[in-house]
Amino acid sequence: MLRHGHAQLESVQLHYAAEGAEDSDLILFVHGFPEFWYQWKNQLADFGRTHLAVAPDLRGYNLSSKPPNVEDYTIPHLVEDIRGLTAHFGCGGDNKFTLVAHDWGGVIAWAFALAHPDWLAGLIIINAPHPAIFQRELASTPAQQKASEYIQLLRNPIAETALATGHFAPLTQLFLAASLERGYFTEADRAAYIAAWSQPGALTGALNYYRAAPFDAARGELPDASAMIPGAHSWTVHVPTLVLWGMKDVYLLPANLDGLEEYVPNLRVERIPNASHWVIHEAPEIVNRHIRDFLGAESA
């Protein structure tokens, strides 16, 4: 049965939703922009049958703490939130967990795997590029540069006002409209998202991820991993990794998969041809099947 709780960490309190037995292996689901724990409701119901399935609201979102400063949303803070939350559930040492993440959650998950590979039994990334690959694409690929122009819009000081206009009409159009039309979302889903976006400070918290991010199309060579992610020794991920990719993603283009094996030696990639960036909502059964297959292979 779905239940809710809060984990008090060193600097923030994170709200989370969970299903499954407390003594089961932890599988943590981390959402992206502009979502919240609710993104994973289908996965919580499914994987709660065999795991302790947990989906937090990231800092700045919905019912979690919303630190006021842009610098509160840098990668080291976000990685530490994941470490603190999973420690709250007893992970660390020999007690590893599986990390599943999409979009901004994937940015954090890649960084966590680079900094704390010994905490992870497996890493599952959904439409979120490895940082070295994304920097390459931003620096050298006009198509990805154009696809990423929205980042500058979200960094703009007036972004909150623009997105909240007309009871979040622009954000609804960006994220919900097509899925409502195609039946992936219901009116109840729309109400849940608008309620989350309406939490005081939530929209600013979500946008501060972009404002604090080290995205830089002008930068050439990627700096040492340790300069961006404390605890990371290189850009190589030493964790069994599954990458799922909706191939119709117009924000993060499929070229972000090219050369990924150079940074992730133990890698499986599953391309989902008719799905977009929002593949979790469009094809939850396919996503869940691939995750189950990966979990079975890693435990075999």
- Please tell me the pTM assigned to this model: 0.97
Q: Mapping DSSP to helix (H, G, I), strand (E, B) and coil, where does residue 144 land?
A: helix
Average pLDDT over residues 14-20: 98
Q: Which two tokens stand for residue 270?
A: 């599953």
| Confidence band, pLDDT 50/70/90 cuts, at residue 220 | low
Higher pLDDT, 68 or 227: 68
- Catalytic residue among 116, 277, 281, 290, which? 277
The number of folded domains in the chain is 1
- Catalytic residue among 103, 249, 263, 290, which? 103
189 has catalytic annotation: no
pLDDT of residue 205 exceeding 90: yes
Higher pLDDT, 94 or 6: 6
Burial class (CB within 10 angstroms; exposed 0-12, middle 13-18, buried 19+) of 273 = exposed
Query: Domain range for residue 244?
Result: 3-299
pLDDT of residue 163 exceeding 60: yes
Q: What is the CATH number of the domain that holds 173?
A: 3.40.50.1820
- Catalytic residue among 130, 210, 281, 290, which? 210
103 has catalytic annotation: yes
| Confidence band, pLDDT 50/70/90 cuts, at residue 222 | confident
Q: Alpha carbon of 213 to those of 75, 76, 205, 224, 288: distances in Å?
A: 7, 11, 13, 16, 30
The per-residue pLDDT for 147 is 96
Q: Are 280 and 102 in contact (CB under 8 A)?
A: yes
210 has catalytic annotation: yes
> How far apart are alpha carbons 76 and 89 in whole angstroms?
20
Q: What is the pLDDT of residues 91-140, one digit of tens each?
A: 998 999 999 999 999 999 999 999 999 999 999 999 999 999 999 999 99
Closest by Cα among 109, 115, 70, 116 to 213: 70
3 state SS for 85-100: HHHHCCCECCECEEEE
Average pLDDT over residues 143-168: 95
| Confidence band, pLDDT 50/70/90 cuts, at residue 226 | confident
Mean pLDDT of the chain: 95
